[in-house]
Amino acid sequence: MGKVEELGFRHIKTTFRGDTIDILLKSKRGHEWINKPLLLFCQGSLPKPLIIKDGQTSYGVFPFNPDSLENYYHIAIISKPYVPIIADVKSLSQNFTYLDPITGKFPLQYSQKNHLDYYVDRNIQVIEYLQRQKYIAKSKLIVAGHSEGSTIAAKIATKTNKVTHLIYCSGNPFGRITTVIAQNRAIETDTDSTRYGEDQFEHWKYIVRNNENIEDTYGDSFKATYSFSISTN
């Protein structure tokens, strides 16, 4: 399938609360050991491998072209917990998620870790680890996030003064549940009824009462939905 190094990344491993943490670091070729600031990108939702292969082709790791940014930064991205960093598209579900081969569901250990506070604390420790390396400058730190990752990035910026610049992309600062409710409101065609939205409000009440539940039969657990529904305002 090919090693990550062959795709232009350094594969760095560290640990957090007993978990192995996989980091991919993208640097301009020949500049791997030149002192530059760090740009940490926080990926969006779902247990997706960082590198998805389709034969000899691989999908882009970032939802942007990192070439110009490599001139100024070392760019890091962290794998989802208990999800392989590289996988062939044929081994994944239709939406490119990695499922437990026995249960056909999200890996249990992923669901146990898949919530906002875990990602924030883990990513801060990764930042501290990388900034101890001689090739990472401490003068500037950019934390960027897309979708679910934007919420993670925003909370990182509130918890550590190491962050000098924040990039918030395609997120909802009012929280995930407001997006779900808005989507339900949008499909209501009967002007005399708000049943879809009201049903979602009732579901939200149930989530709040069971906000530590990690059951993931239908996707993200209640704990994940609750944690990512807290407003970042």
Strand order of the β-sheet with 51-54 is 57-58, 51-54, 86-88
- Report, as an integer, the average pLDDT of 21-38: 97
Residue 189 has pLDDT above 80, yes or no: no
Work out the pLDDT band at 200, boundaries 50, 70, 90: confident
pTM (predicted TM-score):
0.92
- Report, as an integer, the average pLDDT of 152-167: 97
Residue 1 has pLDDT above 50, yes or no: no
Per DSSP bridges, beta strands 19-26 and 74-78 are antiparallel
Distance, CA of 60 to CA of 57 (rounded, Å):
10
Phi-psi domain of 18 (left: phi exceeds 0; alpha: psi -120 through 50; beta: other): left
Residue 168: its pLDDT value, please?
96
What contacts 116, CB < 8 A, 6 or more positions away? 151, 152, 155, 224, 227, 228, 230
Distance, CA of 4 to CA of 84 (rounded, Å):
12
Convert the pLDDT of each residue in 92-141 to its tens digit: 998 999 999 999 999 999 999 999 999 999 999 999 999 999 999 999 99
Convert the pLDDT of each residue in 9-24 to its tens digit: 999 999 999 999 999 9
Among the listed ranges 4-8, 97-101, 134-138, 214-218, which one has the minimum average pLDDT value? 214-218
Residue 2 has pLDDT above 70, yes or no: no
Please state the domain extents for the chain.
Answer: 4-171, 173-233
Residue 233: its pLDDT value, please?
66
Query: In CATH, which superfamily holds the domain spanning 4-171?
Result: Alpha/Beta hydrolase fold, catalytic domain (3.40.50.1820)
Closest by Cα among 232, 231, 212 to 223? 212
- Report, as an integer, the average pLDDT of 46-69: 93
- Report, as an integer, the average pLDDT of 209-232: 89
Residue 194: its pLDDT value, please?
59
Q: What is the mean pLDDT of the chain?
A: 92
